[in-house]
Structure 1
Amino acid sequence: MNLNHNQLETRCVSSLVKIFAQDGELQEPVYPKGSALRGEVYAFQIAYRSAQMRKNINLSVTSQLQNSTITVRSVGLVPSEMPMYADHDERIFQATPGLFPDPLYPIAQGITALPNVWSSVWVTVQVDRAEQGGTFDIAIAFETAEGESLAQESFSLTVIPRELPEQKLIHTEWFHTDCIATQYNVPVFSEEHWRLLEAFIGTAVRHGINLLLTPLFTPPLDTAVGGERPTVQLVDVEKTGNQYKFGFEKLDRWADMCLAVGVRYFEFSHLYTQWGAKHAPKIMAHENGEYKRIFGWETEASGEEYRSFLGQLIPELLKWVEGRGLQKQVYFHISDEPSMSALEDYRQASDWLRPMLQGYPVIDALSDYEFYESGLVPRPIPATNHIEPFLEAGVPDLWTYYCCGQYKDVSNRFFTFPSARNRIIGVQMHKFGITGFLHWGFNFWYSQYSIKPINPYITTDAGHAFPSGDAFLVYPGEEGPIESIRMEVFYEALQDMRAFALLEELGGKDELQALIGNLTFSSYPAESEWLLNLRETVNKRIAEIIG
């Protein structure tokens, strides 16, 4: 901690701390040192406050690191009118409306210290893959615009001279192409839209998202029955009588862009409506010189017309996949979150569609074990609070997901959850050998059911629909994405998994399992210190083994 005559108080704290404006005396312990592997993104924070208002505080960073990149961002506050449901558990900050730390703003013209209010800056160290091993000091100086020193903090980072292994987890956060066009008020698939798409997808990839929702047709997700989302359709359709021709030029451009920024896998948007596969998604086509909707809520999923369409589309789409050499990199969806009441509709869609897909993987989020047991979904994605029967059955290559419904006991990343409750998912997924993780909200900036656009800096709960933090991980900045604490901490969870894999590779599997213990998806240590100490212990053992 640093307190000088200028009354700027500072303290190094870990990335798992959330600092609220209403905090009185900061209870979080000083966190002055840590360790990281080569290629890792390491983060810590510096909390600060002043007895008086101070504007335009400049920050300067000096470091002994030779090749690594250090950035400093300001942790902003955003409102939440609905932080949590009424029947929440006890491991939350608050259930009442308030301001929460979340967006990470680039610092352009200094930071402000509000009088007697704790704030923080987020320090990110991108450890270079060629960085030398050793322990290095990172100094962050706080100065007035005139160069007068206000405070200085120092953090000691030990670089372990072994590279973090490649991520094996398949990870998707559903990417809402239409929300970007709407938020920035640009035409869909205009050049400016493509530029923004690349910026947001690049940020997703840098945070471990390697599977991308690809809108063959406007995804039928969170759409009011009878309503529409803006058209984002990568496959061009020309209809002549009962025959269809398909154009894949935009899909080619999408694939080129995604592969260039590091996307590994593509999940094609759902071929039937959400919650049960009863209808067709919105599909636009050119017919007799007119561009119009040919399928939608009025279309029965099992009707002859839509089945004829899919029967002509799927072979052409698979030719495209094979022509691009993507046979092992694509996934299909039927319907998101089907309920037991929709079992028969889902069965009809699945039984009819899957033979045409020639063994390509079909994945769907669902939590009723009966769907899997009936053979309808060979690759189920159960929610974390419904995963136990799937684990007990030894389902191979098991995925998991969470969304707004997973708010008791299990991990999640709502504003009002401690960051440790976000990061613990990495330990859990590693322990149980989870193959993939899905979440529905990378950038959903509409109200529930996509009825109207929202300002995500003001409305963080999709219009009192979901606890704040569920619908999006990024905010729209002037030129592209503004990242969040929650996204950074979830990426730390993914990096934990990669470090665990390295320790196991080096012969420390039994030791790691002993360190992790008997935790489950709903029962686990709650303390930030446990997670931080676990990772430091794993790093220390890696360093000892490699000598």
Structure 2
Amino acid sequence: MKSQHKPTPVLIGRRKFIKSSSILGYGLVVFGVGNCSCKKTHPDEAAPNRITKYTISALDSSIKVLPSDIVKESRRIELAAAANETESFQIVLRSEADLGQVDVRISELTNGVHTIRDLVWYQVGYVYVSTFDGHPATEDIKGLLPGWYPDPLLENERPTLVKGWSNTLWVNCPIPTGTPPGLYAGKVSLTIGGQLETIDMQLTVFDFTLPRKSTLPTLFSLSLEYLNKVYPTFTPAIREKWFDFLMAQRISPTDMYIDLEGADAKLKIEPNEYHRYLDRMNGFVVYPITATWSDRDASADELIARFEKNRPYIDALVSSGCVSQGNGVFYGFDENDASHFETMKKVHRHIKSIYPQIPIATTSMHITSVEQLQELQIDILVLHITDDIYNSAFADQVRAVGKKVWGYISLQPYHPMPNWRIENPYLDARVLLSAMAYHERFDGFLYWGVNQYNKIDWKYPATIDKNTPAKLEVSITTPTDEYKWLHGDGLLLYPGSSGPLSSIRMEQIRKGLEEYEYYQLLEERFGKEEAANWAGKVAPSMKVFSDDAHLYLTHKLEMAARIMGR
């Protein structure tokens, strides 16, 4: 029997808002391949006679910095990650005066003859939030005011700084597969008004590699209809960039709600497009049984007739190997209730008679027994994690009969549970898709939209050009009076003029999926019980988990040391 390494218990600081960490200058974590320790670092002391009119601070990517936050100066960032992982950090520039032109250069990271290239920086853009009035959970918005909030990552040649703000740059450092372990070093050079400033970077690469394909299956819906409406010409090159970007985030491109009966059928993802990603895909919708909310109320005969009409497309996906290798599913009857059950039985029975090997997935808050699930011939039950709808006891009953149980979020849940609305701490997304997903034994995760672009009076935004100002005229607010407090729901990516622009929230989602692999590696080496113990250190339940950045990074270090046998 393998030994059970018991992680040291830690204190969980749920909703201890991490703005305090940024003000104190936390977030710089010291890593070593042989010495996994974590400590606070102190701001660099300025030279005695040096007069500066700005501050520069390097911070971990899990710390949210609002424009009004005062961050202590620090010129050093120390990071750690595995091969085939992307690590990120932030640079905060603040000045009460106009700094003029600012230039940014990032060196390679080197360790003797070994080099890590392709580090890239982005200007953090800001979206305006006009109100939180009506928010169902006051704890989620405690201390927050209307104003500008950081989210989009802009592709600018030079930073565009707002005087009197803490302006943030975002730096991504991808560590390629095959990178030798060890300590790598480099510099960020900032030329501010002709004066050269530098930030020291150190990155420890662990002696293990994350898998190319995400272990946790996902369905994150990309609306091809909205892309076609936003882009004046939705070219194959732009389309490919969107697909490539999602795969780089460990998410398979899929449109869960595409209407294959209407004009948008021409936008569907073809087998040859999926084939480019088969070695990395883990989840996509083969065919949407219901494409719209109202389709749930269509007759079984109508839905079966539509399905039969699209059999050639489904057969092409099956024969190409996309379905079996890419973990394809049928999906439909979104958030169904008992009034849909008879129709579901008839439609699912027909589908299973033809494609018994392809799982049928649905989201539901009203399927409450294994018997119902079997009658409906559902293979993957996707449960909302809010209000105890997802609970481990029921999930285990479902799994005991050979079915799978996924989790999902939408505008809900609220405090004390995690989400990635604009007001949530950054760590919510990372914990949800790593420690929490593992501890609660999610078999997969679903999210309804990454680009729901009808947020300005139900109109579509213009694309965002390079070198745009930091304050964006893009709304992420649901345009109804009932949901005027809801910011960022269904919108994680922004439409750049030549392709997708990421967001800080999407970067946190990718980190969560990457860090989920740490628990999988612990399971492979030491068993499920020990891996679950590690996950329980930061997420013992869906209502109790840590938002403390320092604690979380220390935990990651300790996991890496255990994986490496140290």
> Is 1:202 matched up with 2:198?
no
Which residue in the other structure is 2:87 paired with? 42
- Secondary structure of 2:368's counterpart equals helix
Which residue in the other structure is 2:259 paired with? 217
Of 362, 365, 385, which residue of structure 1 is paired with 2:363? 365
> Is 1:72 matched up with 2:121?
yes
Which residue in the other structure is 1:481 paired with? 500
Structure 2 counterpart of 1:163, which letter? T
Distance in structure 2 (CA, Å) of the matches to 1:215 and 1:403: 15
- Secondary structure of 1:129's counterpart equals coil
Which residue in the other structure is 1:346 paired with? 344
Q: Is the 8 A contact 2:416 2:544 kept in 1?
A: yes
After superposition, the C-alpha distances for 1:77-133 in whole angstroms (9 at most, x for unaligned) are 11123558522151446564321100111231x224433321111111111222222
Aligned residues: 487
Give the structure-2-normalised TM-score. Answer: 0.78
Of 495, 507, 511, which residue of structure 1 is paired with 2:526? 507
Q: Cα 1:33–1:422, aligned 2, differ >3 Å: closer, same or farther?
A: same
Which residue in the other structure is 1:423 paired with? 430
Q: Cα 1:310–1:160, aligned 2, differ >3 Å: closer, same or farther?
A: closer
Of 458, 479, 491, which residue of structure 2 is paired with 1:463? 479
Q: Is the 8 A contact 2:323 2:329 kept in 1?
A: no
Distance in structure 1 (CA, Å) of the matches to 2:219 and 2:454: 19
Which residue in the other structure is 1:380 paired with? 381
Of 388, 394, 403, which residue of structure 2 is paired with 1:390? 394
More displaced, 501-510 or 487-496?
501-510
Distance in structure 1 (CA, Å) of the matches to 2:406 and 2:73: 35
Which residue in the other structure is 1:189 paired with? none
Distance in structure 2 (CA, Å) of the matches to 1:480 and 1:214: 21
Which residue in the other structure is 2:67 paired with? 21
- Secondary structure of 1:401's counterpart equals strand
Q: Cα 1:67–1:201, aligned 2, differ >3 Å: closer, same or farther?
A: same
After superposition, the C-alpha distances for 1:411-447 in whole angstroms (9 at most, x for unaligned) are 2111110001121111111123322111011111124
Q: Cα 1:277–1:348, aligned 2, differ >3 Å: closer, same or farther?
A: farther
Q: Is the 8 A contact 1:58 1:143 kept in 2?
A: yes
- Secondary structure of 1:491's counterpart equals helix
- Secondary structure of 2:135's counterpart equals coil
After superposition, the C-alpha distances for 1:294-347 in whole angstroms (9 at most, x for unaligned) are xxxxxx4234x6544534544x44432333123414211231111334334434
After superposition, the C-alpha distances for 1:237-295 in whole angstroms (9 at most, x for unaligned) are xxxxxxxxxxxxx76x722123225562430342235457544xxxxxxxxxxxxxxxx
Structure 1 counterpart of 2:188, which letter? I
Q: Is the 8 A contact 2:153 2:502 kept in 1?
A: yes
Distance in structure 2 (CA, Å) of the matches to 1:93 and 1:112: 30
Distance in structure 1 (CA, Å) of the matches to 2:258 and 2:153: 32
Distance in structure 1 (CA, Å) of the matches to 2:314 and 2:84: 36
- Secondary structure of 1:369's counterpart equals coil
Q: Cα 1:532–1:55, aligned 2, differ >3 Å: closer, same or farther?
A: same
Write out aligned runs for 1:118-137 (5 A).
118-137=166-185
Gaps of 5+ in 2: 1-42, 463-471
Q: Is the 8 A contact 2:184 2:204 kept in 1?
A: yes
Q: Is the 8 A contact 2:271 2:317 kept in 1?
A: no
> Is 1:530 matched up with 2:563?
no
Which residue in the other structure is 1:320 paired with? 316
**% of aligned pairs identical?**
18
Write out aligned runs for 1:443-454 (5 A).
443-447=451-455, 452-454=459-461
> Is 1:169 matched up with 2:177?
no
Which residue in the other structure is 2:135 paired with? 86
After superposition, the C-alpha distances for 1:51-100 in whole angstroms (9 at most, x for unaligned) are 31113211122344213421111111111235585221514465643211
Q: Cα 1:512–1:302, aligned 2, differ >3 Å: closer, same or farther?
A: closer
Q: Which has the higher contact order (CA 8 A, sep 6+)?
A: 2
Q: Is the 8 A contact 2:257 2:292 kept in 1?
A: no
- Secondary structure of 1:48's counterpart equals strand
Distance in structure 1 (CA, Å) of the matches to 2:72 and 2:142: 14
The alignment's C-alpha RMSD in Å is 2.9
Q: Is the 8 A contact 2:125 2:150 kept in 1?
A: yes
Q: Is the 8 A contact 2:419 2:429 kept in 1?
A: yes
